[in-house]
């Protein structure tokens, strides 16, 4: 499925996504994380400021993500994109609290040392492997 909404709908669920960034030597690093749609055509996630994820993204903004439906692991989506914004301070905490509200039902407990990222997808696909036959 090539329609953005087919892929993006999975990022609106409470499923945990996996983010791949590039290490300094070019090797991939993959971590599970909370994620959500940001507007109609972007995604949002967060990390600790200065973490390996933050440093990787700051050096090379290209990322890849994958996710499966929370109720059916055969329904999945994958996205490649670019981090277009690093959001700190109160604006970053507002995004982080939105993610925490979605996944945990309350504002995030840590109130400093965090940064949010806005990802602009450049390509995506989704598939229901349960429909394979």
Taking the C-alpha atoms of residue 18 and residue 28, their distance in angstroms, rounded to an integer, is 12
Query: Is residue 131 a part of any domain in this protein?
Result: no
pLDDT score of 1 more than 60? no
Taking the C-alpha atoms of residue 33 and residue 72, their distance in angstroms, rounded to an integer, is 18
Taking the C-alpha atoms of residue 88 and residue 114, their distance in angstroms, rounded to an integer, is 7
CATH number at residue 58: 2.30.110.10
Query: Is residue 103 a part of any domain in this protein?
Result: yes
Please give the model's pTM, rounded to 2 decimal places: 0.93
What average pLDDT does range 79-100 have in this prediction?
A: 98
pLDDT tens for each residue of 109-132: 999 999 999 999 999 999 998 876
pLDDT at 3: 83
Query: Is residue 98 a part of any domain in this protein?
Result: yes
Taking the C-alpha atoms of residue 31 and residue 63, their distance in angstroms, rounded to an integer, is 12
Query: Is residue 130 a part of any domain in this protein?
Result: no
Query: Is residue 74 a part of any domain in this protein?
Result: yes
Domain that holds residue 72: 4-125
- Say which residues have a Cβ less than 8 Å from residue 76's Cβ, sequence separation at least 6: 10, 66, 67, 68, 69, 126, 127, 129
pLDDT tens for each residue of 12-66: 999 999 999 999 999 999 999 999 999 999 999 999 999 999 999 999 999 999 9
State how many domains the chain has.
1
Mean of the per-residue pLDDT values of the chain: 95
């Amino acid at each position: 499925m090539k329609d953005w909404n087919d892929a993006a709908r999975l990022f609106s669920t409470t499923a945990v996504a996996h983010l791949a960034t590039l290490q300094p030597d070019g090797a991939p690093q993959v971590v599970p994380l909370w994620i959500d749609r940001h507007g109609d055509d972007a995604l949002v996630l967060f990390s600790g400021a200065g973490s390996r994820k933050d440093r990787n993204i700051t050096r090379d903004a290209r990322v890849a993500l994958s996710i499966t439906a929370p109720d059916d692991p055969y329904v999945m989506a994958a996205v490649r994109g670019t981090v277009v914004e690093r959001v700190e301070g109160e604006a970053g905490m507002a995004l982080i609290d939105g993610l925490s509200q979605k996944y945990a039902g309350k504002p995030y407990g840590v109130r400093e040392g965090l940064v949010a990222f806005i990802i602009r997808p450049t390509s995506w696909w989704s598939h229901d492997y349960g429909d394979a036959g």
